[in-house]
Amino acid sequence: MSKVVLIVNPYSSGVTRSRVADVTAAIARRAEVVVRQTEQKGHATELAREAVQDADAVIVFSGDGTYNEAVNGASGDVPFGFLPGGGASVFPRALGLPRDPVVAAVQALDALLAGRTTSISLGKVNGRRFCFSAGIGFDAEAVRRIDSRGRDRDGRRAGNLTFAATVIGIVFEKRLRMPPQLEIDDFGRAAFVFVANGRPYTYMGAVPVNVAGRADFAGGLDFVAPRVVTPGLVPRLAFRGFQGRLDGDPGVLTGHDLDAFHVRCDVATPLQADGEDLGDVIEASFSAERDALAVLV
């Protein structure tokens, strides 16, 4: 019988005791399952690193931040499954998994027992892996502001509506103006940069926000970086960015299917990966780890 280690973040917004019990039961019907709960920030990396030593698969039931931690403990030999347990759960949705974690668990187990996996690339920034997105400047600042709000009594972060309101607040706080503040080597100067390992970049509720319309989990990294933001440019950038149609826009630097690129900031600037604040950076080295992870889809 196959052995599955189920890593659970009990503080993710969509994770409850009853859902954990239902997911565990669904897996246990057809495989041996060992449940490990995260206890602190960074714990999922340690749990994943331990799990790959003797498990046939690792399944993570959490939100995007814990997926990020888990893949940083992954090896290429053991397949991973990802169950939606966060407010957005961008990664499993982008991989085509259903929003119901029990249904997603059944599909992941079906894939494991059938030997059906898909190999995807992972991004890396300054040595830290990421699943689907990273950014310097604008979106990283939004992530930091969300984190500064703290968590509710159950230890959960603010949801999608709060994040959307925070993004809009930053735009208007800056009076719709963002000058160049970083340099992407061999490409030019920009106001901020979005880096995509796949698409969509994120979701606004049920609606995908593509940003980098050609990004693909099977390939290298893509980036989108507006040269400058002004009041007159905001509507066009927002509309085309939402649809992933910024390639070819004269006001935007773009890169597609890249193995690596380097960013230098004028001043220390926030960096995020998969919605996790990685602190301020002066420089950031991005690279693609091709065929880094086997996923159960």
Taking residues 149-171, report their average pLDDT.
61
**pLDDT beyond 70 at 58:** yes
pLDDT tens-digit map of 235-286: 888 888 878 888 888 999 999 999 999 999 999 999 999 999 999 999 999 9
Instruction: Note the pTM of the prediction, 2 decimals.
Output: 0.91
Please state, rounded to an integer, the average pLDDT across all residues of the chain. 91
Produce one character per residue of 92-127: b if its CB has 16 or more CB atoms within 10 Å, e if not: bbbbebeeebbebbbbbbebbeeeebeebbbbbbee
Q: Which residue segments constitute the domains of the chain, with CATH numbers given?
A: 3-116 (3.40.50.10330), 128-290 (2.60.200.40)
CA 237 to CA 242: how far, in whole Å? 8
6 token code pair: 């189920």
Taking residues 13-38, report their average pLDDT.
97
pLDDT tens-digit map of 68-108: 999 999 987 899 999 999 988 999 999 999 999 999 999 99
Taking residues 130-136, report their average pLDDT.
98
Rounded-to-10 torsion of CA 130, 210, 279, 148: -120
For residue 95, give the DSSP letter: T
- For residues 81 and 117, the answer to whether their CB atoms sit within 8 Å is no
Query: CA angle 143-165-210, nearest 5°?
Result: 70
